[in-house]
Chains A and B, each alone.
Chain A
Amino acid sequence: MQPLLSVGNLVKRYAAPRSSGPHDKLAALDGVSLSIAPKTTVALVGESGSGKSTLALCIACLERPTSGTITFAGIDLAALDENRQRQFRPQIQLVFQDPSSSLNPRWTALEIITEPLLVQRRFTKQERIDKACALLDRVGIPRKMANRRADELSGGQKQRLAIARSLALEPKLIILDEALSALDCSVQAQISNLLLELQSSLGLTYLLITHDFAMAGHLADQIVVMDRGRIVESGSAERILSSPNHGATCSLLAATPRIAEAHVELVIS
């Protein structure tokens, strides 16, 4: 089956600023290739500085790669100029880590969801409101919160709102950049269930960027491990988690905090 998105030998270099600490060297992408099959979830795992966010920004056409191809539904996005790229933006959406800073705290929930619809200029006001309410229902935000300002919502509700906003333009691919990392455990569970449900009912494809192997293992079909701008290992989730090959994968797995196996068995039973 043809992949929905395939990245070919992507390279991105930034000019490093002078007199900054060593950790500040902006991550280059050094020849990254991967493919994402439709209606699946690929998890991109790596330390900060490994290039995962840069890759996400390039795929979402928010950064221009230095060289390489990004083929989406058969078309090379990297080769298009900005105007043509903009036509594809609705199909690739982003959800960020911190909903407090990715949502305008002064806008109401309804305003936040209708904004992308407004920009598209295809819908009447009533259509926009109807679509927005339908989306709020979809993500589990009660209708009475529709006119509340974003800063009055809880962390979990804000993230649901961010997801609803990303669904507004009926995308094919949603990039979740550490979208679950800042949430409490119980809220993480709710949001991850929501994501799974949306995937099965809407046929969405996810690119999940995270450094949490547990979540990656739970949500993803494929796991891709990045280290210093390169992909060092990739494969099915089961394989990577049970028998990792590369040193970076092993050390990341080892570093993931976990409750010992004995503890978990008893909780499940």
Chain B
Amino acid sequence: MTPLLKVRNLQVAYYARTGEVCPALAGVHFDLNSGEILGVLGESGSGKSTLAAALLRLLPTNAHIGQGSVLFEGKNLLEASPQELQKIRGGRIGLIFQEPSSSLHPTLPVGQQVSDVLAAHQPLDRRSLAEKTSQLLATVFPADADRVSHSYPHELSGGQRQRVLIAQAIACGPSLVIADEPTASLDPTTQQEILQLFRTLRQKFDLAMILITHNPALLADLADRILVLYAGRVAEIAPTEKMLSSPQHPYTAALMRCLPPQAGEAQRARKAPLCVIAGDPPDLSPQARGCLFEPRCTEAMEVCRREEPDAFAVSATHEVSCFRFAR
């Protein structure tokens, strides 16, 4: 089965006005199949938000996409014309940005903002448009869809705004939805509701998703596979179970050890210091040599300082970019 999305060697760099170049993504590659949920796990500076924007070419003007290809349904998005891109955005790929409070137009009613997405991709008359909009809102707002439709963003709660963003993303029945930190500013209960909504949507519409977050616990019950991003590179990619129970890459393993003891589990010593990842965030300048995690790695080898590792296969579905796994 051909993958829905094939990303190969995606490179993105930001150009500062002083002429400095800051590489944000340096050769990201992964596949995504239909109906699959891929979790992208990354901390600040890993390039996760850049990845979301780069896939649909929504980067700011000072960003430059280098080599690489993003093949979606057979078409390379990096070479698509503006018209083709406009049809794909929202039409075939839905996007849910961070920060629901600032991702909605402040002075338009929420219902209209959903209608606009529909109208942009489907030639509908006014009545069908209104009908489809209310159906859509009813999917994400089981209760008071009608009242919400006429509200303005500042009259809604964080969770409600997030649902509107989801409605906009799925409006035209896309085959892929990219969600960037969709539950970041929400309460735990609301968070669970949104995650449940994602599960329902995946079931109903056979939706593929790329879920970007810095919290591994969110991906545990939702994602099929997890991709770990470090310093703009893929550190490890594996099925969720494998990734959470036996992460292979030193960074992923260290990250999992950092987590506080899970609420309700057999108690480790409470108030004992947590494991941390020593060292500073990675040096992203273009002059950096070798594996970017090497300064903080407890298992670094000589070669790690000189060269960057390729992705080595640990199993058919598990790849790690670390020299410890080189054949």
Interface residues of A (CB under 8 A from B): 20-21, 23-24, 47-48, 154-155, 184-190, 192-193, 196-197, 211-219, 237-238, 241-242, 251-264, 266-268
The reply to whether B188 and A256 form a contact with Cβ atoms under 8 Å apart is yes
Q: Which residue of the partner chain B has the closest CB to A97? A: B185
The reply to whether A267 and B245 form a contact with Cβ atoms under 8 Å apart is yes
The reply to whether B263 and A192 form a contact with Cβ atoms under 8 Å apart is no
Q: B residues within 8 A CB of A211?
A: 187-188
Q: A residues within 8 A CB of B270?
A: 217-218, 237-238
Interface residues in B219-260 (C-beta closer than 8 Å to A): 220, 241, 244-247, 253-260
Q: B residues within 8 A CB of A186?
A: 43, 254-255, 258, 276-277
Q: B residues within 8 A CB of A259?
A: 216-217, 220, 244, 259, 262
Q: B residues within 8 A CB of A21?
A: 151, 155-157
The reply to whether A189 and B189 form a contact with Cβ atoms under 8 Å apart is no
Interface residues in B179-206 (C-beta closer than 8 Å to A): 187-189, 191-192, 195
The reply to whether B192 and A193 form a contact with Cβ atoms under 8 Å apart is no
Q: B residues within 8 A CB of A155?
A: 44
The reply to whether A23 and B157 form a contact with Cβ atoms under 8 Å apart is yes
Task: Tell me the complex Cα distance, A46–B78, Å.
Answer: 45
- Name 6 A/B residue pairs within 8 A (Cβ), A-sorted: A184-B44, A196-B273, A217-B263, A257-B215, A258-B220, A267-B245
Q: Which residue of the partner chain A has the closest CB to B41? A: A185
The reply to whether B255 and A261 form a contact with Cβ atoms under 8 Å apart is no
The reply to whether B271 and A154 form a contact with Cβ atoms under 8 Å apart is no
Query: Quick one: which of B220, B257, B259 has the most chain A CB within 10 A?
Result: B259
Q: Which of B244, B246, B259, B267 contacts A214 (CB 8 A)?
A: B259
10 cross-chain pairs, A with B, having the tightest CB-CB distances, nearest first: A255-B188, A184-B43, A257-B217, A218-B260, A189-B258, A189-B274, A213-B263, A23-B157, A263-B244, A266-B245
Task: Please give the distance in Å from B293's CB to the nearest CB on chain A.
Answer: 12
For chain B, what secondary structure do more than half of its interface residues adopt (helix, strand, loop), or is it mixed?
A: loop
Q: How large is the interface on B (under 10, 10 to 19, 20 to 34, 35 or more residues)?
A: 35 or more
Q: Which residue of the partner chain A has the closest CB to B158? A: A48
The verdict on B264 contacting chain A, using a C-beta distance below 8 Å, is: yes
Task: Please give the distance in Å from B180's CB to the nearest CB on chain A.
Answer: 15
Given contacts A184-B43, A187-B43, A267-B245, contact A261 B262 (CB under 8 A): yes
Task: Please give the distance in Å from B217's CB to the nearest CB on chain A.
Answer: 4
Q: Which residue of the partner chain B has the closest CB to A257? A: B217
The reply to whether B271 and A219 form a contact with Cβ atoms under 8 Å apart is yes
Task: Tell me the complex Cα distance, A267–B258, Å.
Answer: 10
The reply to whether A196 and B262 form a contact with Cβ atoms under 8 Å apart is no
Task: Tell me the complex Cα distance, A21–B158, Å.
Answer: 12
The verdict on B268 contacting chain A, using a C-beta distance below 8 Å, is: yes
The verdict on B281 contacting chain A, using a C-beta distance below 8 Å, is: yes
Q: Which of B43, B263, B281 contacts A241 (CB 8 A)?
A: B263
Query: Quick one: which of A213, A219, A251, A258 has the most chain B CB within 10 A?
Result: A258
